Amino acid sequence: AHAVRARVFDADQRAVAEDVTIDYYINGKKVSTAHAKLARMNLRSYDLEAEGDVKVQSEQGVVLTTSRLSWDNQRQRASSTARVRVLRGGAVLTGRGFTADRDLHDLRILEDVQAEAVSVEQMRKEAATWPKP
C-alpha cells in the first residue's frame, strides 16, 4: 500500500490512509490495483474499508468504480452495498452492491443490474468469458 498521508494507531491496531493505492497479489503476481481517497485498515486482520472515488483495476483490464468498498481478508473478497460500475471488455455493467475476488474475475453485481454494449454480439462474446455462478 502507498498513501499520500497515513496515521497508525498502535493501541487500536488500525491505520487510516489518505489518497491510497493498494496492489493486490496472488502467488507473488500482481493481479489488481485499488485507489481510494480514504482507507481504514485493521492491522490485526488486514480487513479494509475504502471510500471516496474507489477504483479497482485488474491486470486483465476489468475496471470497477464505486463510492466505497470493504475488503474481508479472511474470505479474500471485496464487497459493497453502494452503486457500482464495471467496465469489462466492451461491456459496461452497473448496479447496486457487489462481491468480487482480488483479481475481479469472480465479480457479482447484486441488485438493479444493467448492461450496455456496443452490440448484442459484443455482449454475448464478453458474457461468454464470465464465470458461471
Q: Rounded CA gap, 101 and 103, in Å?
A: 6
pLDDT the model gives residue 67: 98
Can you read off the three cell numbers belonging to residue 88? 469489462
pLDDT digits (tens, 9 = 90+) for 109-131: 999 999 887 667 776 777 777 77
Q: Identify the helix (H) or strand (E) that includes residue 94.
A: strand 91-100
DSSP string, 22-90: EEEEETTEEEEEEEEEEEEEETTT--EEEEEEEEEEETTS-EEEEEEEEEETTTTEEEEEEEEEEEETT
Structural contact between residues 62 and 130, judged by C-beta atoms closer than 8 angstroms: no
pLDDT digits (tens, 9 = 90+) for 26-74: 999 999 999 999 999 999 999 999 999 999 999 999 999 999 999 999 9
The pLDDT confidence band at residue 88, using thresholds 50, 70 and 90, is confident
The pLDDT confidence band at residue 133, using thresholds 50, 70 and 90, is low
pLDDT the model gives residue 84: 98
pLDDT the model gives residue 73: 95
33 beta partners: 23, 57
